[in-house]
């Protein structure tokens, strides 16, 4: 079956329109189907031996230099599968959102934009999808979010747009100077080291805000808290990874010397961010805030892997990206399930729930175990490859980031202790079938990838790092 990259785009686009049909609450099945279909198609594309699977190239807007060039490379394909899974899970978890049709239409529109980012092989096309993410995401947070959604959305929006603005300047500058916006073509053009550093810095402006790299993360805690849980899942699980993809695919791919020059600063910030996020997670009393800062820590660790740009560390960043997406989805779902039973997200509402809800406790423990990187889970595979891959070129940062595993254990086990240990102050009903159906596939994938990380790492072949991008082996 001949699948092209555009098919990946057509599915969620059709779903967006289909969501406007009067289906009542059943409209979320459209979102689930769309997500799963994209994941399945991406797997098909990943199986093809071509470096750029499902490639299509059309001249689109000649006066603007915009071509429609799409294709799926290894890292993109892997992240596409993740995005499909997370969008499906999030849609399934969106059962009680008011105005389900508008919600699902925006949800599928967001999925379209995210999918586009992973397949775009033209800089302007990439940017179009990058910016196109903003409107549905902002509307989803602002219109369906919790208290503080207004200020949180504004800050998120303006911070992100500022980064994108600088990014655009870099894109247009590069494209006009090189007379092409096509990523594959640009990869073979020589660019001086100074220009590479400047362009890398301009491009990174968008990605360091989106990831977010420490200290550009001021928008994160408020946005994660204000967003409804499914949106938070997607925001943390896959939208942050578009930044990772941008860093690896664009910055490392096109400006390897520039990244090499900027690496000491970037890597240091990432290492600090990893520790910082973990330390702050330890202080939080609200499960969502714990997850938010834990994510900050993980995402900065992934950033460390991306910026170190060695083959091993990028493989690690890829697995860690998938792992974090799955784990954070599970954690947010579990937090929501816990909050449902205790009346809120604050941890001091109830304790000792392990006695009455052992399955909830068990799955929560498994998710936390994966989050803190115990071997056997994908979390460990990702972390280890990132750290060992970065160690040669940036030993100090790698060591500092390794210390994060201790702090992670502290905040992770503290969360479990506050919720499930101690004398039972209340009873809670255990996980229902529907809740288990959401969690088990996620956690099963986490274990699968922990045991067979080759499923991901084999796809991150050297051709992802373009010919002059073999930075540090």
Partner 1 sequence: MTPADALAAAPLLVLVGGACAIVLLDLSSLPGPRLMAGLGAAVALAAGAAAAVLGTGAPGFGGALLRDGGALAFTLVIAVATAMSLALAGGYLAREAVPGGEFVALVLLSAAGGVLMAVGGDLVVIFLGLELLSLPLYVLTALLPRAARGDEGALKYFLLGAATSAVLLYGIALVYAATGHYELAALRGVPPGGPLILAGLAFIVAGLAFKAALVPFHAWAPDVYESAPTPATAFMAVVAKAGAFGALLRIVASTTGSAIDWQVSLAALAALTLILASFAAVGQRRVKRLLAYSSIAHAGFLTMGSATGIFAAPAVVFYLAIYGALTVGSFGVIALLDNDDPTIGDLAGLWRQRPVLVLALGVFLVGLTGLPPTGGFLAKLYVFEAAIRSQLLWLVVIGVLASVVSAAYYFRVLLACFQPGDASASPHPAPRLGTVVVSVAALAVLAAGVVPGPLLDLAQHATY
Partner 2 sequence: MTLALVVAAPLAGAIFLALFGGYLGRRTSGTIAAGAILVSFGAAAAMAPVLLARGGSIDAPIARWLPIPGADFHLVLDVTMLAVVLMITAVSALIAIYSIGYLAGDRGIQRYFAALDLFVAAMLLIAVASNLLLLFAGWELVGLCSYLLIGHWRERPAAAAAAVKAFVINRIGDAAFLVGIFLVITGQGTVEIASIGQLSITTSVLILGGALAKSAQLPLHTWLPDAMEGPTPVSALIHAATMVTAGVVLLIRIGGPLSDDVMLAAAIIGAITALGAATVATAQTDLKRVLAWSTISQVGLMFTAAGVGAIFAALFHLVSHALFKASLFLGAGSVLHATQDEIDIRRLGGMARRTPWTAAGFVAGALGLAAIPPAAGFFSKEAIAAAALDRPYLLVLILLTSAVSAFYAARLVTLVFLTSPRSDRASSAHEPGAVMLLPLVGLALGTMTLGLAVAAGAIDLGVGALADAPPWLGALSLALAVAAVLAGWLLYRGGPRDETVLALARSGYGIDALYGRTAVPLFEAIARALELGAERTNGMVLDLVARTAMSASSAARRVQGGYLRAYETLLLAGAVALLAYWSIR
* Eight-class DSSP state of 53: E
Binding of partner 2 by 396 (CB under 8 A): no
Binding of partner 2 by 226 (CB under 8 A): no
Region near partner 1 per CB under 8 A, out of 34-42, 89-97, 121-129, 242-250: 121-129
CA distances from 333 to 164, 172, 291, 297, 341 (A): 30, 41, 11, 19, 13
Tokens of 266: 């970037």
* Eight-class DSSP state of 48: S
Binding of partner 2 by 150 (CB under 8 A): no
Binding of partner 1 by 165 (CB under 8 A): yes
Q: Distance between CA atoms of 435 and 293, rounded to whole angstroms? A: 25
Q: Distance between CA atoms of 300 and 249, rounded to whole angstroms? A: 17
Q: Which does 157 bind (CB under 5 to 8 A by kind): partner 1, partner 2, none?
A: partner 1
Binding of partner 1 by 374 (CB under 8 A): no
- C-alpha gyration radius of the chain: 21
Binding of partner 2 by 436 (CB under 8 A): no
Binding of partner 1 by 178 (CB under 8 A): no
Nearest CB to partner 2, comparing residues 35 and 273: 273
Q: DSSP string of 303-348?
A: HHHHHH-BHHHHHHHHHHHHHHHHHHHHHHHHHHHHHHHHTSSBGG
Distance of CA 47 to the CA centre of its chain: 22
CA distances from 12 to 25, 130, 346 (A): 19, 16, 36
Q: Give the chain's end-to-end CA distance (angstroms, integer).
A: 37
Rounded to the nearest whole angstrom, what is the least distance from the CB of residue 161 to partner 1 in the complex? Answer: 4
248-307 residues in contact with partner 2 (CB under 8 A) are 276, 279-280, 282-283
Region near partner 2 per CB under 8 A, out of 29-37, 42-50, 380-388, 462-470: 380-388
Q: Distance between CA atoms of 283 and 6, rounded to whole angstroms? A: 45
Q: Distance between CA atoms of 415 and 428, rounded to whole angstroms? A: 17
Binding of partner 2 by 374 (CB under 8 A): yes
* Eight-class DSSP state of 428: -
39-78 residues in contact with partner 2 (CB under 8 A) are none
Nearest CB to partner 2, comparing residues 135 and 424: 424
Task: Report which of 159, 169, 163, 241 is spatially closest to residue 198, judged by C-alpha positions.
Answer: 169
Question: How many other C-beta atoms are found inside a 10 Å radius of the C-beta of residue 350?
Answer: 21
Q: Which does 47 bind (CB under 5 to 8 A by kind): partner 1, partner 2, none?
A: none
Nearest CB to partner 1, comparing residues 117 and 431: 117
Nearest CB to partner 2, comparing residues 69 and 311: 311
411-430 residues in contact with partner 2 (CB under 8 A) are 413-414, 417, 420-424
Length of the chain: 473
Binding of partner 1 by 143 (CB under 8 A): yes
Contacts to partner 1 by CB under 8 A: 61, 63-66, 124, 128-129, 131-132, 134-135, 138, 142-143, 150, 154, 157-158, 161-162, 164-166, 168-169, 172-173, 175-177
Contacts to partner 2 by CB under 8 A: 154-155, 158-159, 215, 217-219, 221, 276, 279-280, 282-283, 312, 315, 352, 354-355, 358, 361-362, 365, 369, 374-376, 380-381, 384-385, 387-388, 391-392, 398-399, 402-403, 405-406, 409-410, 413-414, 417, 420-424, 451-454, 457
């Amino acid at each position: 079956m001949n699948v092209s990259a555009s098919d990946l785009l057509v599915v969620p686009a059709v779903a967006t329109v289909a969501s406007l049909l009067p289906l009542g609450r059943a409209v979320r099945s459209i979102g689930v189907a769309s997500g799963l279909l994209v994941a399945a198609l991406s797997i098909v594309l990943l199986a093809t031996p071509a470096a750029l699977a499902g490639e299509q190239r059309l001249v689109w807007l000649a006066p603007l230099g915009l071509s429609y060039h799409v294709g799926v490379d290894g890292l993109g394909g892997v992240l596409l599968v993740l995005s499909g899974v997370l969008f499906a899970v999030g849609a399934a978890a969106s059962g009680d959102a008011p105005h389900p049709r508008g919600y699902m239409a925006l949800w599928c529109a967001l999925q379209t934009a995210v999918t586009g980012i992973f397949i775009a092989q033209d800089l302007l096309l990439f940017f179009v999808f990058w910016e196109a993410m903003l409107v549905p995401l902002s509307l989803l947070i602002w219109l369906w979010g919790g208290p503080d959604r207004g200020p949180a959305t504004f800050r998120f929006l303006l911070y992100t747009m500022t980064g994108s603005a600088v990014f655009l300047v870099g894109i247009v500058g590069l494209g006009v100077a090189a007379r092409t916006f096509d990523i594959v073509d640009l990869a073979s053009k020589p660019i001086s080291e100074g220009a590479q550093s400047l362009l890398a810095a301009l491009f990174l402006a968008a990605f360091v805000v989106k990831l977010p790299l420490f200290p550009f993360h001021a928008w994160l805690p408020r946005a994660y808290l204000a967003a409804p849980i499914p949106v938070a899942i997607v925001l943390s699980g896959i939208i942050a990874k578009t930044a990772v993809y941008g860093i690896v695919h664009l910055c490392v791919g096109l400006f390897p010397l520039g990244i090499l020059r900027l690496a000491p600063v970037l890597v240091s910030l990432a290492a600090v961010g990893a520790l910082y996020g973990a330390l702050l997670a330890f202080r939080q009393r609200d499960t969502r805030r714990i997850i938010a800062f834990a994510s900050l820590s993980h995402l900065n660790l992934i950033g460390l892997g991306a910026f170190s740009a060695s083959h091993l560390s990028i493989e690690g960043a890829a697995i860690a990206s998938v792992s974090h997406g799955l784990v954070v989805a599970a954690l947010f779902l579990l937090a929501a399930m816990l909050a449902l039973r205790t009346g809120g997200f604050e941890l001091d509402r109830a304790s000792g729930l392990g006695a009455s809800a052992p399955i909830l406790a068990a799955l929560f423990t498994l998710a936390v175990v994966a989050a803190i990187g115990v071997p056997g889970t994908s979390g460990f595979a990702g972390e280890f490859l990132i750290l060992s891959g970065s160690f040669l070129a940036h030993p100090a940062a790698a060591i500092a980031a390794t210390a994060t595993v201790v702090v992670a254990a502290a905040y992770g086990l503290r969360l479990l202790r506050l919720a499930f240990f101690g004398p039972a102050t209340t009873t809670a009903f255990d996980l229902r079938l529907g809740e288990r159906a959401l969690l088990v596939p996620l956690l099963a994938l986490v274990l699968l990838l922990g045991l067979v990380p080759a499923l991901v790492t084999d796809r991150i072949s050297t051709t992802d790092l373009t010919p002059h991008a073999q930075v540090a082996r």
